Amino acid sequence: MRVFVTGATGYVGTAVVDALQRASHEVVALVRHQEKARRLAERGIDAAVGTLGNPNTWRTQASTCEGFIHAAFEPSPKGVEIERIALDTLIDLAKHAGERGPASLIYTSGVWVLGSTPEPVDETATVAPPELVAWRPAHEQLVLDAGTDQLRAAVIRPGVVYGGSRGIIADLLASAENGLMRIVGTGENHWPLVYDRDLADLYVRVLGSDEGRGIFHATDEADEQVRAIADAIAAHRPHPPDIRFMPIAEARAKSGPYADALALDQRVRSPRAHALGWAPSLRSVSSNIARLFEELRRGRLAQQEQERHDA
């Protein structure tokens, strides 16, 4: 399938593009800068240089595709509005593709839309999003409503992603190296998590399956306590870092509604993903700390290498 991917240079999108290439799909990536287009071209990936909020910059190239994966997000005050503009265009393009033949549209959401779920929930759960992602269920619904017999419309809700050198867990590993880890709240809450390559594998499965419709959770189902993750990371360091548990009010004053999302207590199951044959290869952060430090190190080296190459 020829697949248009937004956010192709991001944490989730990079893993998705790699997995699509491994599965022999053709990728057309939306990138913001010519330099990134050049890097992707070296890997045989076509790029549209443009921005989410200006679909005229990518509509023509995206219209050559039958698959559409939205994995971009602009973290700015206009981010939600910009996503809506991009989604309207992606839905329109996907519907046209669906009129020509089988097509697929995948929207990247996140488990935070579920709100606090101290007891395990699956994809049938009612959403109760915290302020940070209060807008998101409406965008999920726009995508789901676009589905037809020919157009498979899906929402993937990843847990907190780990692996490589980006994301919340990589930041925790890096802060452990620097001697101080900060945890929002008491750390007794549980985070649903997913390894980046396992998550990307789910996108490929959803894209390629006639059952790839509706909501899919993507979690390793380890129900890890945040405190246990921090302890496992700290235990791995020759000089264990301090772990500081920040009261939620203090974290909120510093980071706004992001603090409440980090403090959520969630246990999330992914039965619909398993029904597609998806089985995560990594089953927890805590039991893979050595590997994750190594991935962080390699990711940094690759980035330094890229910067030298670009200079």
Ligand X SMILES: NC(=O)c1ccc[n+]([C@@H]2O[C@H](COP(=O)([O-])OP(=O)(O)OC[C@H]3O[C@@H](n4cnc5c(N)ncnc54)[C@H](OP(=O)(O)O)[C@@H]3O)[C@@H](O)[C@H]2O)c1
By CB under 6 A, is residue 10 in contact with ligand X? yes
By CB under 6 A, is residue 13 in contact with ligand X? yes
| Residue with the shortest CB distance to ligand X | 10
Q: How far apart are CA 159 and CA 109, in angstroms?
A: 10
**Among the listed residues 160, 222, 243, 268, the single contact to ligand X using CB under 6 A:** 160
Interacting span for ligand X (CB under 6 A) from 8-16, 123-131, 145-153, 241-249: 8-16
Least distance in angstroms from the C-beta of 208 to ligand X: 20
H or E, element range at 194: strand 193-195
| Tokens 């973290």 sit on residue | 75
Least distance in angstroms from the C-beta of 136 to ligand X: 8
**Among the listed residues 55, 98, 110, 115, the single contact to ligand X using CB under 6 A:** 110
Q: How far apart are CA 192 and CA 264, in angstroms?
A: 10
By CB under 6 A, is residue 30 in contact with ligand X? yes
H or E, element range at 156: strand 151-158
Write the single-letter amino acid at 272.
Answer: R
H or E, element range at 106: strand 103-108
In sequence order, the β-bridge partners of residue 103 are 151
By CB under 6 A, is residue 158 in contact with ligand X? yes
Q: How far apart are CA 43 and CA 46, in angstroms?
A: 9
Interacting span for ligand X (CB under 6 A) from 18-26, 48-56, 170-178, 270-278: 48-56
Distances (CA, A) of 94 to 50, 69, 103, 105: 19, 10, 7, 6
Q: Which of residues 53-72 bind ligand X (CB under 6 A)?
A: 53, 71-72
Q: Using alpha carbons only, how large is the chain's radius of gyration in Å?
A: 19
Indicate the pairing of strand 190-191 with strand 224-225. antiparallel
Residue 97 CA from chain centroid, whole number = 25
Sign of the torsion formed by the C-alpha atoms of 237, 239, 241 and 242: positive
Q: Residue 147 or 163: which CB sits closer to ligand X?
A: 163
**Among the listed residues 69, 155, 161, 273, the single contact to ligand X using CB under 6 A:** 161
- Kindly write out the interface string for residues 81-100 of this chain, putting x where it contacts ligand X by CB under 6 A and - elsewhere: -x------------------
Is-contact 147 153, C-beta < 8 A?
Answer: yes
Least distance in angstroms from the C-beta of 76 to ligand X: 8
By CB under 6 A, is residue 7 in contact with ligand X? yes
- Kindly write out the interface string for residues 252-291 of this chain, putting x where it contacts ligand X by CB under 6 A and - elsewhere: ----------------------------------------
Q: Residue 16 or 146: which CB sits closer to ligand X?
A: 16
By CB under 6 A, is residue 52 in contact with ligand X? yes
Binding positions for ligand X, rule: CB under 6 A: 7, 9-13, 30, 32, 51-53, 71-74, 82, 108, 110, 158, 160-161, 166-168
